[in-house]
Amino acid sequence: MPGVLMLSACGSQDRESDTDALRIVGPFEVHSLVPAASSAVFNRLHIIETLVGTDMDGDIVEGLATAWSSSEDQSEWTFELPTGVTFHDGTPLTSEAVANALTWAAQEAGSPLATADIKHIEPLDSAIRIELEQPLPTLPAILTHYSTAVLAPAAYGDNGEVLNVIGTGAYQASHIELPASIRTTKFDDWRGAEPQIERVEFQTVSRAESRALMAASGQADVIFHLEPSGRQRVESANNVRLVSSLQPRTLYMKVNGEHPVLGDKRVRQAISKGIDRASIADAVLRERELGATQLFPPSLVAWHNDDLAPLDHDPEGAIDLLADAGWTQGANGLMQRDGQPLTVTLMTYPDRPELPALAAAIQDQLRQIGVQVRVDVTNSSEIPVGHEDGTLELGLLARHLALVSDPLVTVADTFGPEGADWGAMNWSNDEVLAAIDELLAGADDDRADELRARIAEIAQDELPVIPIAWYRMNAAVSDRVENFELDPLEYTWRITDATLVR
């Protein structure tokens, strides 16, 4: 049940919407106060903070921690903490409070910290020490993930349940109504430079058409996730501008590697060749260049491999591959084998409005090479369910490859031995696993380049996930908002740098 949480304990008052507040709208629903299940909204609103942050280039920088160091084998890490920092309830930030928050975070299945094999988190005088079962060079990057944000001890119940959102950020929550509304006020005791914006209001609006109307009519100041038609509406409106950034996000189809048809690499390659990515990107995303030539977009400089032969549209080649796999074209144009048509189900979800449109385009294009695709538009949760019970055949989804500042963490999850809910399914490759292990162990720069290139090459050949398009984040920004920048990693919404023209 949606609930209302009043946070008067933080010394702030509930306020009606007013013109002095920065009004933010997006499709993100917040169904839980737990950071790991909050869609990162509390971090993006600068309410809670992580030990390590990221800058606009994706490099790790200070968060709550002022410095960090590791043992020689990187199995023990120490994070130095600032002095004089208080939580929004007035209690001090202590090493015990940080250790408590990270201990609870490490028990959340949705947090990459849960897979870090933590042996012990020890509070020191002005630092914490994290001991691991094995070396982990990526631990600082993992601690940029929103699930690892530090909450005050009073935020937790006896069993670790989050009862209140009490952080250390530049803004404190004054009103939370799950899943659709959050209001904040500036936290006067924040340690950083004082923000110029006094209050922020966030509202969830799930319909893309409604968000576009709000942008064009001035009902909000920053509106995230505009679909192509919404972008056109904004571009023709007055007193609003479009801001965009190529994200480290790829729209791809995950494939059941043990499916009786899709388990054959030749079929996966044929499906890939049957898709005209450039025309799909042009028609659906209104940007032809977003057609994915490989899994990793150019925004992931270390992982994007310019030497890879690009994924191409080759219908004749696709039909040849299917013929090689034993499929022949029937009178109705559909491929068949042993009297059975080549039919697969593609599952996707409407949370991102471009996905159902992409699924329909894929369905039409694959019909031209004799592959019949049934499209099932359902709840996004059904893709992980289908992964778990083995019933998923194809799943079209949007995967952010750098929710943790080092994409290696997401790559290791995507191509791990057991696959991942939003990654590979019933597919693994010993060479990829060995390359990931070597990277996680801290390969030197030249060797790391070789290993990343090899992972990209194998993924391009085996296609455990079939890339369709890269993704550009679009936001409409009112002319009364100045100094607004769109963070490609969405670590925060950079509200502390923005100003309002009154």
pLDDT digits (tens, 9 = 90+) for 315-342: 999 999 999 999 999 888 999 999 999 9
Render pLDDT for 397-414 as a digit per residue (tens, 0 to 9).
999 998 888 999 999 999
Tokens 């023709």 sit on residue: 236
- Residue 102 is encoded by which pair of tokens? 């990270």
Dist. CA 495–CA 474, nearest whole Å: 17
What predicted TM-score, i.e. pTM, was given to this entire model?
Answer: 0.84
Higher-pLDDT residue of 91 and 227 is 91
> Is residue 456 left, alpha or beta, with left meaning phi > 0 and alpha meaning psi from -120 to 50?
alpha
> Is residue 154 left, alpha or beta, with left meaning phi > 0 and alpha meaning psi from -120 to 50?
alpha
**Residue 333 buriedness (CB in 10 A; 0-12 / 13-18 / 19+):** exposed
How far is residue 187 from each of residues 193, 240, 340, 376, measured CA to CA in Å?
A: 11, 29, 65, 46
> Is residue 268 left, alpha or beta, with left meaning phi > 0 and alpha meaning psi from -120 to 50?
alpha
Between 18-27, 150-159, 369-378, 468-477, the lowest mean confidence (pLDDT) is in 18-27
Buried b (16+ CB within 10 A) or exposed e, 227-242: bbebbebbeebeebeb
Dist. CA 324–CA 270, nearest whole Å: 10
Between 14-23, 312-321, 389-398, the lowest mean confidence (pLDDT) is in 14-23
Higher-pLDDT residue of 59 and 188 is 188
Q: What is the pLDDT of residue 114?
A: 93
Dist. CA 421–CA 424, nearest whole Å: 8
Q: What is the pLDDT of residue 337?
A: 95
Kindly state the DSSP code that residue 8 receives in the 8-state scheme: G
Cβ-Cβ contacts under 8 Å for 366 (sequence gap 6 or more): 271, 274, 275, 372, 373
Higher-pLDDT residue of 452 and 331 is 452
- Residue 456 is encoded by which pair of tokens? 């990209």
Dist. CA 459–CA 304, nearest whole Å: 12
Average pLDDT over residues 85-94: 98
Asked if the model's pLDDT at residue 245 lies above 80, the reply is yes
Asked if the model's pLDDT at residue 383 lies above 50, the reply is yes
Render pLDDT for 425-451 as a digit per residue (tens, 0 to 9).
999 999 999 999 999 988 999 999 999
Q: What is the pLDDT of residue 5?
A: 53
How far is residue 31 from each of residues 160, 166, 180, measured CA to CA in Å?
A: 17, 17, 8
Q: What is the pLDDT of residue 490?
A: 84
What is the 3-state composition of the chain as percent helix, strand, coil, each rounded to the nearest 5? 30, 25, 45
Asked if the model's pLDDT at residue 47 lies above 50, the reply is yes
Q: What angle do CA 198, 204, 205 make, to 5 degrees?
A: 125
- List alpha helices for 415-463, DSSP H: 430-440, 445-462
Compute the residue count for the chain. 502
- Positions of E strands within 1-143: 4-6, 21-26, 52-54, 60-62, 67-70, 76-80, 118-123, 127-132
Per-domain boundaries in the chain:
51-154, 247-471
**Helices and strands in the chain, H and E counts:** 13, 22
Asked if the model's pLDDT at residue 1 lies above 80, the reply is no
Buried b (16+ CB within 10 A) or exposed e, 341-368: ebebebbbbbebbbbbbbbbbbeebbee
Kindly state the DSSP code that residue 42 receives in the 8-state scheme: H
Dist. CA 372–CA 364, nearest whole Å: 9
Write down the mean pLDDT value for the chain: 93
pLDDT band at 352 (very low <50, low <70, confident <90, very high): confident
- The DSSP line for 357-399 is HHHHHHHHHHHTTT-EEEEEE--TTHHHHHHHHT--SEEEEEE
Asked if the model's pLDDT at residue 120 lies above 50, the reply is yes
pLDDT band at 18 (very low <50, low <70, confident <90, very high): low
Q: What is the pLDDT of residue 102?
A: 98
Render pLDDT for 291-308 as a digit per residue (tens, 0 to 9).
999 999 998 999 999 999
Asked if the model's pLDDT at residue 14 lies above 60, the reply is no
Q: What is the pLDDT of residue 2?
A: 40
CB 91 within 8 A of CB 152: yes
Tokens 């060995």 sit on residue: 434
Asked if the model's pLDDT at residue 105 lies above 70, the reply is yes
Q: Which long-range contacts (CB under 8 A, 24 or more apart) does 412-421 make?
A: 412/436, 412/440, 413/112, 413/115, 414/465, 415/455, 415/459, 415/464, 419/257, 419/387, 419/464, 420/387, 421/383, 421/384, 421/387, 421/388
CB 299 within 8 A of CB 286: no
Domain 247-471: which CATH number of 3.30.2290.10, 3.20.20.70, 3.10.105.10, 3.40.50.300: 3.10.105.10
SS3 210: helix
CATH architecture, domain defined by 51-154: Alpha-Beta Complex (3.90)
Q: Give the residue from 194, 223, 191, 192 showing the smallest Cα distance to 481.
A: 223
Asked if the model's pLDDT at residue 12 lies above 80, the reply is no
Q: What is the pLDDT of residue 3?
A: 45
Cβ-Cβ contacts under 8 Å for 457 (sequence gap 6 or more): 305, 308
Cβ-Cβ contacts under 8 Å for 159 (sequence gap 6 or more): none
What are residue 344's DSSP bridge partners?
373
Asked if the model's pLDDT at residue 99 lies above 90, the reply is yes
CB 128 within 8 A of CB 95: yes
Dist. CA 291–CA 314, nearest whole Å: 15
How far is residue 158 from each of residues 94, 161, 223, 456, measured CA to CA in Å?
A: 19, 7, 38, 45
3-state secondary structure 271-289: HHHCCCHHHHHHHHHCCHH
